[in-house]
């Protein structure tokens, strides 16, 4: 994978608090990609996406107005965008080769 694609995927998986005091990573994608093939990282992210979906269902059943619902939705979106970024990069590399 290209450095640009890794950085883009990591940007999707990096969250800043609303006041800007704290930045954290949902997942350190660069670390994973150093040790595992991109297909395995995609599978891991898909499982994580599914787990957050389960948490979302439970949170909605409990209290639809809970701010945690917004956080879960945002994380699921970010994970999905990172998955799409990695997949698109793999397709691009395959078409070039």
- Residues facing 23 on adjacent strands: 16
Q: Tokens in use for 18?
A: 């609303």
pTM of the model: 0.90
Which of the 8 DSSP states describes residue 86?
Answer: H
Mean pLDDT of 15-27: 83
pLDDT of residue 18: 72
Q: Is 52 helix (H, G, I), strand (E, B) or coil?
A: helix
Boundaries of every domain in the chain: 3-96
**For residue range 27-69, what is the model confidence (pLDDT) as tens digits?**
999 999 999 999 999 999 999 999 999 999 999 999 999 889 9
pLDDT of residue 12: 95
Model confidence band, residue 87 (pLDDT cutoffs 50, 70, 90): very high
pLDDT of residue 19: 73
The answer, yes or no, to whether residue 86 has pLDDT greater than 80, is: yes
């Amino acid at each position: 994978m290209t450095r640009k694609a890794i950085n883009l995927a990591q940007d999707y998986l990096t969250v800043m608090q609303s006041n800007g005091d704290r930045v954290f990573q949902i997942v350190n994608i660069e670390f994973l990609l150093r040790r595992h093939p991109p297909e395995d990282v995609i599978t891991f992210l898909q499982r994580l996406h599914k787990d957050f979906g389960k948490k979302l269902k439970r949170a909605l059943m409990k209290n639809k107005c809970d701010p945690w619902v917004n956080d879960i939705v945002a994380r699921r979106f970010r994970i999905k965008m990172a998955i799409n970024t990695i997949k698109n990069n793999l397709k691009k590399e395959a078409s070039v080769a």
